[in-house]
Every structure is written in structure tokens, then in C-alpha cells.
């Protein structure tokens, strides 16, 4: 049985321990532990439960030139994630048991982290008929999260039925909240910047009106609703109100919405083109406060890789989306920990415990305790580093953070007891070309 010892590592509660891993489990936690296996000196480093991403676009099947399950898994472990959730807007769409099982298999064969497929709500993401939700739930992938992400389930009847239907197996509908009629040809946040730039606005109300409706639907049918990538101050207020009423709603915020604003669009560089769009400083402040106070439950990356040519063009033709797995932790530390808005215990909740709970991801998101499955992310909480898009592990390099300095980086990632990232080197799948 393989063994691994993390020496002198700090936990989220600031205590310093050794963690002894045997096989895939945590065997012992204490001081002065020893092993016959590998020893990693973790002085100055922190051990946290492995991060769990609830919103990842791995692009396979269909767009392997942007990312594959393997390259996405490598990118994930570089970012400290021991589980990702594959969004179904692939080609073919993950709307049948066959496709979700294919993604599950690809994840297992990559073997670097858990890849949990998310199933489509509607067949072909067309927003008309329910996809084979039951078959996906019963499949080997045991899908529990359903989403038409990229598109909104805008038909209130379909949304109501989907929320009701997933109650069979305690599933959850993850809504990409975007009223389509209010966002025809929308290019960026509706606001003074869009007005000056002559770009069609994507108004906050297009997100908030769907969230308001869906909160009421979830309350009515007593089902579970998850709101993807909340981006506006008004959305935070609506979700806060819903939670105060005891409605079963959870919400995520992306790292980029915690730090970037629509002012960045002034240069028309499509690297900043994302959906939902970058908003205003007021929104950023509200999102940070919502994440800190528990209104927003999790950070999710919305990792959206695109090949260079999809961004190397004028704004209107460019694809929406940013890669985010490898910078998520640094952005969260920079925006939430360094600012004093959040402590490490809360970071563990929003990046590991809560997403695993929402997804029902069994042995993920567990406290670091003896006997627990060894999904561990070892980070340097103080490290300052400059993001270099060429150095990303992802097959795509569309990061908005190129050249930015972040605080906090991932050093080692342990998945089922195996060191899948060691000293920031991914230990597997090296033979894939990166571009």
C-alpha cells in the first residue's frame, strides 16, 4: 500500500500537524509521525480538503481542440481541484445516459480527479422537452445535477416540471439565469460603459427576473434550485431573501466576477468577454459580501476554454468564456482572504464542503480526519505569483489574468491518496500536447 506523509502542515484552524496517508485514506493525523513512504516537507503550507468545482466546461466530446477530459483534469489538479463537474453543452449534448457515461469513463481513465457529469435539462438544450433525466440519474454516472448551462431554461413550465421531476432522486436544477428576450445579441453588461462603446447591453434584470421566478417555483414545488454564476447585486439580494424564507436555493459565484468589472471591456479585447458579463464595482462588492455571509454558497469556476482563434478577432465575433481552474484559488485568496472578508474555514466551505454537498459527491468535501478519503489540496497561502497564460496546463489560454499578480497558489494535490500534483507538476497525462 502506498504511503505519503505531509510534514508540519498547517490546517484551516491554524494548528500544525503531520498527515499520514496510507492507500487512499488518511491513516493518522498528529505530530512527529513517520512513514516508510514519501515525505513532503510542508512547512509554511496549508492542507485543505480537495477543492470541488461545480461548473466546468471540459469540451469533450466535440471540441477537443479547446480542452479534453484529460487536459481539463490536469488543469483541475494544478488548481487544487480533486473533483470537477462537466457541463453538458458538448457535442453531442450530454442529454442521455450514453453520453454522461462516456464522460464519466473519460474522467476515470484520466484518473487525476473525479469528473462528475452534469446532465442536460432539455433534450439537445433546446428548451422544449425534458432530456432523459431519469436515465442519466440511474446510469453509472449517477447524475444528480441537471443544467442547460450556456442557455437558460426560460420556459417557466419546463423549469417547473424539471424541478419537480428531479425530486425522484433528490436532484437539483442548476439554472443559467438569463432571460433570452432581454438579452438578444447582448455583448456586455448594460451600463454606461456599454453605452459609450456601442455594445448591446446584457441587463442585470435579465438575470434577476429569472432568479426571482425560479425561487418562487422552487418554493412552490419544494425542490432544490441552484443558481449558476450569480453576477449582480440584485441577484444576491433575491437569494438572501429566498434563504430567509427557507427556500431550498443555493448559489455560486465565479472567481472572475469577484474581481473584474466591465471597465476592462473598454479596449474591446475579447479576453474579457464572458457570460454572464463582467459587471460593475457595486456588483463585485455585493458578490463578495454575499459569499462571505453565506448568501452565496460556493465558488465555481465556469472554466470555459476556447482555442485562440475564437478570441483573436473583433468583440462581436468572439466566444464567451474564460479559463479559470488554475487561477481560482489565487483569486479567492486575493479577493476574500487578504481583504479580511473571509477566513480559511469559510474558504474550505465555499471551495470544497458546500459544492460537494450540493452535488452529492460522496467522499469529496470531507473534513481532514482519520479514515476519510484522502482528497487533499496543499497550498502556499502567502505565495505571490504572476499569471502567465503560456504556463497554463489547460489546452486553452484564454485567461483574463495574464500578467496579474495573485496571492496564494496550489503546491500539491492529493486525489484518493495519490499525489497527482507535486511541487506544481501534474503527475500524469504529460504526453498530451498542450496546444
Partner 1 sequence: MKHLLSINDITAAEAISILDTAAQLQNLTSGTVKKLPTLRGRTVVNLFFEDSTRTRLSFDAAAKRLSADVTNFAAKGSSVSKGESLKDTAQTLQAMGADAIVIRHGASGAAKRLAESGWVSASIINAGDGTHEHPTQALLDAFTIRKHFGPTRSDFVGLKVAIVGDIVHSRVARSNVLLLKKLGADVTVIAPPTLIPYGIESWGVAHSFNLDEDLESFDVVMMLRVQLERMNEAYFPNGREYSRGYGLDEVRLGRLKAHAIVMHPGPMNRGLEISAASADSVRSVVLEQVSNGVLVRMAVLYQLLAGPDQAATGVLA
> Please, what is the minimum distance in Å from the beta carbon of residue 276 to partner 1?
17
User: Whole-angstrom Cα distance, residue 29 to residue 20?
Assistant: 6
Q: Give the total residue count for the chain.
A: 435
Binding-site member from 53, 114, 190, 380 for partner 1 (CB under 8 A): 190
Of these, 50, 117, 201, 355, which contacts partner 1 (CB under 8 A)? 201
If one asks whether residue 315 binds partner 1 (CB under 8 A), the answer comes out as yes
Hey, how many other C-beta atoms are within 10 angstroms of the C-beta on 197? Answer: 17
26-34, 35-43, 313-321, 389-397 -> range binding partner 1 (CB under 8 A):
313-321
Does the footprint of partner 1 cover residue 198 (CB under 8 A)?
Answer: yes
- Please state the closest distance from residue 149 (CB atom) to Zn ion, in A: 4
Q: Identify which of residues 140 and 316 has a Cβ nearer to partner 1 in the complex.
A: 316
> Order of strands, edge to edge, in the sheet holding 298-299?
145-146, 172-175, 225-227, 249-253, 298-299
Question: Between residues 187 and 413, which has the closer beta carbon with respect to partner 1?
Answer: 187
Distance CA 232, CA 218 (A): 20
CB of 275 to partner 1, least distance (A): 17
Cβ proximity of 419 and 71 under 8 Å: no
In terms of CB distance, is 176 or 273 closer to Zn ion?
176
* Residue 273, number of CB atoms within 10 A of its CB: 26
Taking the least distance from each CB to partner 1, the nearer of 197 and 292 is: 197
* 176 forms part of the interface with Zn ion (CB under 5 A): yes
Q: Position of cell 481542440? A: 65
Annotate each residue in 132-151 with x if it binds Zn ion (CB under 5 A) or - if it does not, as one string: -----------------x--
Closest C-alpha to 330, from 289, 301, 304:
301
Phi-psi region of 362 (alpha: psi -120 to 50; beta: other; left: phi over 0): left
252 binds, among Zn ion, partner 1, none (CB under 5 to 8 A by kind): none
Min dist. Cβ of residue 311 to Zn ion (A): 18
* Residue 195 site contact among partner 1, Zn ion, none (CB < 5 to 8 Å, cut-off depends on kind): partner 1
- 330 near partner 1 (CB under 8 A): no
Q: Which stretch binds Zn ion (CB under 5 A): 56-64, 220-228, 232-240, 403-411?
A: 220-228
Q: Is residue 302 annotated as part of the catalytic site, yes or no? A: yes
Q: What minimum distance in Å lies between the beta carbon of 40 and Zn ion?
A: 37
From candidates 316, 370, 391, 432, binder to partner 1 by CB under 8 A: 316
Stretch that binds partner 1, among 18-26, 62-70, 159-167, 196-204 (CB under 8 A): 196-204
- Between CA 387 and CA 378 the distance in angstroms is 19
Between 176 and 395, CB nearer to Zn ion: 176
Is 78 a residue that touches Zn ion (CB under 5 A)?
A: no
Assess whether the previous peptide bond of 92 is cis (omega < 30° from 0). Answer: yes
Please say which residue, 366 or 396, places its beta carbon nearer to partner 1. Answer: 396
Sole window of 56-64, 67-75, 223-231, 376-384 interacting with Zn ion (rule: CB under 5 A): 223-231
Contact 219, 166 (CB under 8 A): no
- With CB cut-offs between 5 and 8 Å by kind, which of partner 1, Zn ion, none does residue 201 bind? partner 1
Calpha distance 48→351 (Å, rounded): 10
Q: Report the DSSP pairing between strands 225-227 and 172-175.
A: parallel
CB atoms within 10 A of CB 266: 11
Out of 214, 262, 302, 310, which one is annotated catalytic?
302
Considering the rule CB under 8 A, would residue 274 count as an interface residue with partner 1?
no
227, β-bridge pairs: 175, 251
**Alpha carbon distances (Å) from 224 to 122, 146, 179, 235:** 17, 11, 20, 17
Alpha helices in 111-262 (DSSP H): 133-138, 156-165, 192-197, 204-221, 233-244
> Considering only 135-143, 295-303, 307-315, 345-353, which stretch makes contact with partner 1 by CB under 8 A?
307-315
Q: Of residues 169, 268, 320, 385, which one binds partner 1 by CB under 8 A?
A: 268
Q: Which residues of 152-190 are buried (b: 16+ CB within 10 A; e: fewer)?
A: bbbeeebbbbbbebbeeeebbbbbbbbbeebbeebbbbb
Distance (Å, whole) CA 287 – CA 254: 10
Site for partner 1 contains 192 (CB under 8 A) = yes
**Of 66, 318, 323, 353, the one binding partner 1 by CB under 8 A:** 318
Judged by beta carbon distances under 5 to 8 A according to partner kind, the member of Zn ion, partner 1, none in contact with residue 194 is partner 1
Residues acting as catalytic residues: 302
Residues of the shown chain interacting with Zn ion in the complex, contacts defined by CB under 5 A: 149, 176, 228
Residues of the shown chain interacting with partner 1 in the complex, contacts defined by CB under 8 A: 184, 187, 190-192, 194-201, 267-269, 309, 312-318
Amino acid at each position: 500500500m502506498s504511503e505519503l506523509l505531509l510534514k508540519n502542515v498547517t490546517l484551516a484552524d491554524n494548528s500544525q500537524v503531520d498527515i499520514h496517508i496510507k492507500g487512499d485514506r488518511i491513516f493518522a493525523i498528529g505530530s512527529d509521525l513517520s512513514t516508510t513512504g514519501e515525505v513532503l516537507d510542508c512547512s509554511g503550507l496549508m492542507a485543505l480538503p480537495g477543492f470541488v468545482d461545480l461548473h466546468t466546461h471540459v469540451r469533450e466530446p466535440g471540441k477537443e481542440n479547446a480542452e479534453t477530459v484529460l487536459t481539463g483534469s490536469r488543469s483541475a489538479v494544478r488548481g487544487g481541484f480533486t473533483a470537477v463537474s462537466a457541463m453538458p453543452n458538448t457535442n453531442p449534448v450530454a442529454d442521455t445516459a450514453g453520453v454522461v457515461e462516456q464522460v464519466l469513463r473519460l474522467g476515470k481513465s484520466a484518473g487525476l480527479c473525479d469528473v462528475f457529469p452534469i446532465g442536460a435539462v432539455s433534450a439537445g438544450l433546446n428548451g422544449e422537452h425534458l432530456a432523459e433525466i431519469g436515465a442519466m440519474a440511474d446510469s453509472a454516472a449517477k447524475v444528480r445535477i441537471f443544467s442547460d448551462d450556456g442557455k437558460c431554461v426560460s420556459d417557466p413550465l419546463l423549469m417547473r416540471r424539471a424541478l419537480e421531476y428531479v425530486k425522484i432522486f433528490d436532484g437539483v436544477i442548476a439554472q443559467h439565469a438569463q432571460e433570452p428576450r432581454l438579452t438578444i445579441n447582448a455583448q456586455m453588461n448594460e451600463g454606461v460603459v456599454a453605452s459609450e462603446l456601442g455594445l448591446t447591453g446584457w441587463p442585470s434584470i435579465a438575470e434577476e427576473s429569472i432568479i426571482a421566478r425560479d425561487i418562487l417555483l422552487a418554493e412552490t414545488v419544494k425542490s432544490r434550485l441552484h443558481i449558476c454564476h450569480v453576477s449582480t447585486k440584485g441577484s444576491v439580494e433575491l437569494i438572501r431573501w429566498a434563504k430567509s424564507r427557507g427556500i431550498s436555493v443555493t448559489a455560486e459565484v465565479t472567481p472572475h466576477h469577484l474581481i473584474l468589472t466591465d471597465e476592462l471591456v473598454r479596449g474591446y479585447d475579447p479576453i474579457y468577454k464572458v457570460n454572464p458579463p463582467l459587471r460593475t464595482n457595486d456588483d463585485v462588492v455585493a458578490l463578495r459580501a454575499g459569499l462571505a455571509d453565506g448568501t452565496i454558497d460556493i465558488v465555481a469556476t465556469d472554466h470555459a476554454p476556447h482555442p485562440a482563434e475564437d478570441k483573436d478577432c473583433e468583440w462581436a465575433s468572439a466566444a464567451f468564456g474564460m479559463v479559470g481552474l488554475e487561477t481560482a484559488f489565487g483569486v479567492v485568496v486575493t479577493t476574500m482572504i487578504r481583504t479580511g472578508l473571509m477566513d480559511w474555514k469559510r474558504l474550505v466551505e465555499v471551495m470544497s464542503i458546500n459544492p460537494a454537498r450540493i452535488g452529492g459527491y460522496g467522499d469529496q468535501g470531507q473534513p481532514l480526519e482519520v479514515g476519510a478519503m484522502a482528497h487533499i489540496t496543499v497550498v502556499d497561502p502567502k505565495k505571490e505569483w504572476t499569471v502567465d497564460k503560456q504556463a497554463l496546463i489547460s489546452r486553452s489560454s484564454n485567461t483574463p489574468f495574464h500578467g496579474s499578480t495573485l496571492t496564494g497558489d496550489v503546491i500539491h494535490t492529493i486525489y484518493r491518496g495519490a499525489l497527482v500534483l507535486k511541487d506544481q507538476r501534474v503527475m500524469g497525462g504529460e504526453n498530451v500536447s498542450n496546444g
